[in-house]
Structure 1
Amino acid sequence: MVAFSLMHKYKLSLMELLMLNRSLETHLGTFCHRDKKEMPDLMNWFGWCTWDAFYTDVTAEGVKQGLESLERGGASPKFVIIDDGWQSVCMDTTSVEAKFDDTANFSNRLIHVKENHKFQKDGGESSEVDDQSIGFRQIVTEIKEQFSLKYVYVWHAIVGYWGGVMPGVAEMEQYEPTIVNPIPSPGVESNGICFVLRSIMKNRVGLVNPEKVYAFYNDLHSYLASVGVDGVKVDNQSILETLGAGNGGRVKLARKYHEALETSISKNFPSNEIISCMSHSTDALYSAKQAAVIRASDDFFPRDPASHTIHIASVAYNTIFIGEFMQPDWDMFHSLHPMAEYHGAARAIGGCSIYVSDKPGHHDFIVLKKLVLPDGSTLRAKLPGRPTRDCLFSDPTRDGKSLLKIWNMNDFTGVLGVFNCQGAAWCRVNTKNLVHNEQPGAVSCTIQAKDVHYLTNIAEHGWTGDTIVYLHRGGNVLHLPKNKSLPVQLQAREYEVFTVVPVKRLSKGAAFAPIGLLKMFNSGGAITELNYGSPETGIINIRVRGCGVFGAYSSVRPERILIDMKEEKFDYEERSGLISLNLRVSEKELYQWNLTVEL
């Protein structure tokens, strides 16, 4: 993990490392922290990515099929990422094909900034890329209109394609690409060179002249913007650290490329519509003034059973450091998968975009409806999801005794996810993820309100420290007094999500705590306003976004509850204090219900 490597090397505490970053921002002037950046609106909506559905075999028709399939099931994406497979690429005469399983061909190079024949109207090899009337413009327009999409993103590598840009091609000559040899750092070599980097090293990279790279990005992005594309996912960014020889070194090259990239993004996608990917090198992080979203881990690998628990742990720990620079993206996942709920719960806590890469017709809408509201919006937590303090120096993937706890905040509640990640880890000998324990046993821990580190920031004045805890899977509502602990035990690859809410003491000894939409992973994300008014009145006003079963804790049965000024029926459990009532689906997007609870 980046943060812990730096802490070990320079003997820094975690707080010292994060404070050093703040000082470096002022001193270097080359990057900004996350809280100073504009977050793209895409973050607040459900999306679909074409990658694991089609890999590079994606076509215009496949994009439509995927969107239609999700819409039919009631989980309509509001954005789509057309991943690798849309660009005009080919190999040069000296390249050796480098394709493995469902990967791209890493020896290909970019030969045109416009889309390939698969995204022309007839999909034929003879289609002309210059005819916009039958290309991306028509396809993007059609899917936006037919599926009410808000955003269409497309993928490209930071050097154009995996193998860079093709020299000697008329459309690319103006960018002056040259073939260069990637040279990995000793640290990368010692950890193991992956198939992707090994393939790129073998076939080398067509690197655009750094003095021409802004023109390249601007031509690419201005074309995409002109046909209705709203943003880009820019991949393989860390390849720049291997290409510094002859270009002033890796730092200078990265600065040049990232400055050009962000300038082009500002001009062509002015709402900062970019997702950075494979960009954990410090060269990239300390060159990011505007980019606000960063993939925080390796890919989601649907067919690799060793990868899933590692994925969750890796993102959580990586977020400690990279979450200072950008909002971590937890990547896509499959909703129809043995680990779908596990992945979905983690993303609900992660504060990230929520998007899947399901094949058309392969969906679990029960899982999706715990993440996505009928209008396509999500209940995104406010911060990057990070490990709790007591997890910082444990190893929840291989020590056999630790659970991973991840916390985040909503406007009026905290959220805490607990995951059993034991059983698989990175193997330095084989340089890949491996299952080291086929049947890891149950693991236990305790949770406390203080695990949600900023909970005091949202508590009402005079808070006693007592909380209400709602268990998503268990369905329990529990009262947790100040400084008390709740025991948790999880079997292998199990999870639980806890909504943690400060208790408000009202008149005549009554106590109240809103929970949120009980069927959603991040229940409390639905609460947008909370007003207790005068404690003597016992009247609580709550604004709630979404639909389904809304829940709250009350130590006494309410006299009545109004929704938008109309009295509604509700259920009350004397034993637990749980109030529950149903909120219908609104016809208005992002509609907020006005609830009045009279105790």
Structure 2
Amino acid sequence: MANGSAFLGAVSDEVKCRHVFNLGILRFKIWWMMPQMGKSGSDVPVETQMLLLEAKDESDVNNRTIDEFESSTYYILFLPVLDGNFRSSLQGKSTDELEFCIESGDPAVEAAEFYEAVFVNYGSNPFELMKESMKILSKHKGTFSVRENKKYPGSLDWFGWCTWDAFYHAVNPQGIKEGLKRFGARLNSIKENSKFGKGTDTDMNGSTGSLKDFITDIKKTFSLKYVYLWHALMGYWGGLNPNAQGTNKYNAKLLYPVQSPGNLSHIRDLAMDRMEISNASAITRASDDYYPKNPASQTLHIATVAFNSIFLGEIVVPDWDMFYSDHYAAEFHAVARALGGCGVYVSDKPGKHDFKLLKRLVLPNGAVLRAKYPGRPTRDCLFNDPIMDGKSLLKIWNLNTYSGVLGVFNCQGAGTWPCLDNVKNDSDATPSNLTGCVSPSNIEYLEEVAGDNWTGDCAVFSFNSGSLSRLPNKGSLNVSLKVLQCDVFTISPIKRYGEKIQFAPIGLINMYNSGGAVEAIEFVINDSNCQVKIKGRGSGHFGAYSSTNPKFCMVNSKEEEFEYKVDEKFLTITVPHGNNFWEIDVAFVA
């Protein structure tokens, strides 16, 4: 295989439908995966779907610099894959051996020889290793496409409302209309959100003739951009009852495993913009459900999606699921969505909303500031347990067009991994505050946005404190958080413009993902002055690092007042509401 990668296989003396051979991320439910950390083969649970190992060359450690020590770290990836009609998974033994299990799931489908059961690769960058491995597998197997080759639905960039946690099984037309009316009206009055419209003369009795009529009605009344329907691939969980009202007219028969084509052809005619089919989408849920009533699941949810995205994020855009904006852990979830590179949608009950929080996620026109990649744990967090070790903060990184974004979460002391309920939980003795550090070096691929004129330093903005710091790429700041607390850091490379000016845009500092608002930067110089021109979207307070106090600032060709803090070299300008897109000109003496 390419780049030193290979497949593992095995040959058995017996022809069977299930084999276990001596030889991450595990499947802890039929539907979902979760991460687990360990130090030996016995720590690898059954149904492990991906195993990432860290290996260090520790010879002559004392005589090495930090950079040299980091360069001596290698990562080894094991990916169990499909081999013909068989699926494989990894599992450990009490003797610290690693096995792979391969099975067809059908006693009638048996074999004894397997040559491509487990894919193995290695590299010095774990994220690049996963990306390249998925590309190799995609090309070799021909059964899937990698994420970067898939077309994303437009809804990813727009704020949404899901009815599941708002109504559960009691979902009904009247409730949906009431929710849209109350939710949309508040958003309009605060944010002029045309996505929801201002309709108030809606028929609230839910007496529409069909699902198609209902969808057409709410799209028109509330100016909805998209209406999606979630639908399980096999019907509703266990399938559709062929004798139930509404299906008996099709004279359906149970044909395993073929899905009745009549169901899909009917759904296509319902005025839907898109149908979410579980297991067959460019966007895929990356964790178990959001459980608003389960205190232990709040931290587990964030950590699970972040770690699962290491694996899934190269194939799909991981979906972080819905959340309540009016909830004690709402900000914890909101920050994770802001830097997850995912769609952002809530499942608020009608009238139960935190609009102060939503304004930090959603722009006035209903768009969200989505980061470029799936949000994943930083390299120094990959082998730490953010839930149960009692000492580790979880850090999640991502990139925008001109900056990085780093979220820090204290997930300790609020629960245990489901399969480790009987294991000693060190987080039980976790202090009220945990302290860690953040660094520009936590952002992978930062050089992609830094450019040739990068000074090597970065401007680091803390959302919680509103403070701005200048750090070298390997420098760090301490951060201290209580359980279920988080902070967001925008990390913007400081670039040199001309001989006197060093500048780094932060973005809209009133938004969790501040840097997502910045779309273009240009430097212009003439006889009278030199200007840094920044194009972006949204409204609120724009912030930037500027080594020099500007001569004047303009927003959309109109001169505006600005504030400049000399000690932090922190420039802030107000972008008036009503501007979906803007251009800021920051002028300096030539």
Q: TM-score, normalised by structure 2?
A: 0.73
Match for residue 178 of structure 2 among 65, 71, 88 = 65
Q: What are the within-5 Å matches in structure 2 for residues 422-501 of structure 1?
A: 422-423=412-413, 424-428=415-419, 437=428, 440-501=431-492
Query: Which one-letter code corresponds to 1:480 in the other structure?
Result: L
Higher strand share: 2
Tell me, what secondary structure is at the counterpart of 1:54?
helix
Once residues 18 and 412 of structure 1 are traced to their aligned partners in structure 2, the CA distance between those partners, rounded to angstroms, is 22
Q: CA deviation digits over 1:295-339, x for unaligned, max 9?
A: 111111111100001100000000000001100111110001111
Shift in Å, 1:350: 0.2
Query: Which one-letter code corresponds to 2:303 in the other structure?
Result: A
1:43 aligned to 2:156? Answer: yes
Match for residue 576 of structure 2 among 563, 584, 599 = 584
Shift in Å, 1:526: 0.5
Query: Which one-letter code corresponds to 1:298 in the other structure?
Result: D
Q: What are the within-5 Å matches in structure 2 for residues 173-572 of structure 1?
A: 176-178=252-254, 208-211=255-258, 213=260, 215-224=261-270, 228-234=271-277, 276=278, 279=279, 291-423=281-413, 424-428=415-419, 437=428, 440-533=431-524, 538-572=530-564
Paired positions, count: 462
Tell me, what secondary structure is at the counterpart of 1:428?
helix
Shift in Å, 1:378: 0.8
Give the structure 2 partner of residue 261 of structure 1.
none
Shift in Å, 1:566: 1.6
Determine if contact 2:412/2:430 at 8 Å carries over to the other structure: no
Once residues 18 and 502 of structure 1 are traced to their aligned partners in structure 2, the CA distance between those partners, rounded to angstroms, is 25
Q: How big is the alpha-carbon RMSD for the aligned residues of Structure 1 and Structure 2?
A: 2.7
Once residues 438 and 461 of structure 2 are traced to their aligned partners in structure 1, the CA distance between those partners, rounded to angstroms, is 12
Determine if contact 2:156/2:342 at 8 Å carries over to the other structure: yes
Determine if contact 1:467/1:481 at 8 Å carries over to the other structure: yes
Q: What are the within-5 Å matches in structure 2 for residues 13-24 of structure 1?
A: 13=122, 14=126, 16=129, 18-24=131-137
Q: How much identity, in percent, do the aligned residues show? A: 42
Give the structure 2 partner of residue 257 of structure 1.
none
Once residues 435 and 327 of structure 1 are traced to their aligned partners in structure 2, the CA distance between those partners, rounded to angstroms, is 33
Higher helix share: 1
Tell me, what secondary structure is at the counterpart of 1:42?
helix
Once residues 23 and 325 of structure 1 are traced to their aligned partners in structure 2, the CA distance between those partners, rounded to angstroms, is 12
* Unmatched tracts of structure 2, length 5 or more: 1-24, 27-34, 37-47, 53-89, 91-117, 198-202
**Structure 1 534/44 Cα, relative in aligned 2: closer, same or farther at 3 Å?**
same
Shift in Å, 1:571: 1.2
Determine if contact 1:46/1:77 at 8 Å carries over to the other structure: no
**Structure 1 19/544 Cα, relative in aligned 2: closer, same or farther at 3 Å?**
closer
Once residues 417 and 449 of structure 2 are traced to their aligned partners in structure 1, the CA distance between those partners, rounded to angstroms, is 38
Give the structure 2 partner of residue 115 of structure 1.
none
* Unmatched tracts of structure 1, length 5 or more: 81-119, 125-132, 179-207, 235-275, 280-287
Give the structure 2 partner of residue 197 of structure 1.
none
1 or 2 for the larger relative contact order (CA 8 Å, sep ≥6)?
A: 1
Determine if contact 2:212/2:269 at 8 Å carries over to the other structure: no
Once residues 231 and 377 of structure 2 are traced to their aligned partners in structure 1, the CA distance between those partners, rounded to angstroms, is 32
Determine if contact 2:510/2:540 at 8 Å carries over to the other structure: yes
Determine if contact 1:468/1:501 at 8 Å carries over to the other structure: yes
Shift in Å, 1:21: 2.2
Tell me, what secondary structure is at the counterpart of 2:367?
coil
Determine if contact 1:443/1:490 at 8 Å carries over to the other structure: yes
Once residues 135 and 481 of structure 1 are traced to their aligned partners in structure 2, the CA distance between those partners, rounded to angstroms, is 61
Shift in Å, 1:163: 2.5
Which stretch of structure 1 is more off in the superposition, 9-18 or 394-403?
A: 9-18
Query: Which one-letter code corresponds to 2:510 in the other structure?
Result: K
Shift in Å, 1:535: 10
Give the structure 1 partner of residue 220 of structure 2.
145
Query: Which one-letter code corresponds to 2:210 in the other structure?
Result: G
Give the structure 2 partner of residue 166 of structure 1.
241
Shift in Å, 1:483: 1.7
Once residues 535 and 486 of structure 1 are traced to their aligned partners in structure 2, the CA distance between those partners, rounded to angstroms, is 38
Give the structure 2 partner of residue 114 of structure 1.
none
Once residues 168 and 136 of structure 1 are traced to their aligned partners in structure 2, the CA distance between those partners, rounded to angstroms, is 21
Shift in Å, 1:210: 4.1
Give the structure 1 partner of residue 31 of structure 2.
none
Query: Which one-letter code corresponds to 2:379 in the other structure?
Result: R
Give the structure 2 partner of residue 104 of structure 1.
none
Determine if contact 1:388/1:452 at 8 Å carries over to the other structure: yes
Once residues 355 and 522 of structure 2 are traced to their aligned partners in structure 1, the CA distance between those partners, rounded to angstroms, is 34
Once residues 16 and 483 of structure 1 are traced to their aligned partners in structure 2, the CA distance between those partners, rounded to angstroms, is 23
Query: Which one-letter code corresponds to 2:241 in the other structure?
Result: M
Query: Which one-letter code corresponds to 1:512 in the other structure?
Result: F
Once residues 440 and 426 of structure 2 are traced to their aligned partners in structure 1, the CA distance between those partners, rounded to angstroms, is 33
**Structure 1 411/175 Cα, relative in aligned 2: closer, same or farther at 3 Å?**
farther
Once residues 310 and 60 of structure 1 are traced to their aligned partners in structure 2, the CA distance between those partners, rounded to angstroms, is 33
Once residues 247 and 143 of structure 2 are traced to their aligned partners in structure 1, the CA distance between those partners, rounded to angstroms, is 32
**Structure 1 71/45 Cα, relative in aligned 2: closer, same or farther at 3 Å?**
same
Shift in Å, 1:46: 0.5
Q: What are the within-5 Å matches in structure 2 for residues 17-32 of structure 1?
A: 18-32=131-145
**Structure 1 460/122 Cα, relative in aligned 2: closer, same or farther at 3 Å?**
closer
Determine if contact 2:177/2:204 at 8 Å carries over to the other structure: no
Give the structure 2 partner of residue 189 of structure 1.
none
Determine if contact 1:306/1:435 at 8 Å carries over to the other structure: no
Query: Which one-letter code corresponds to 1:294 in the other structure?
Result: T
Once residues 196 and 441 of structure 2 are traced to their aligned partners in structure 1, the CA distance between those partners, rounded to angstroms, is 36
Once residues 480 and 464 of structure 2 are traced to their aligned partners in structure 1, the CA distance between those partners, rounded to angstroms, is 13
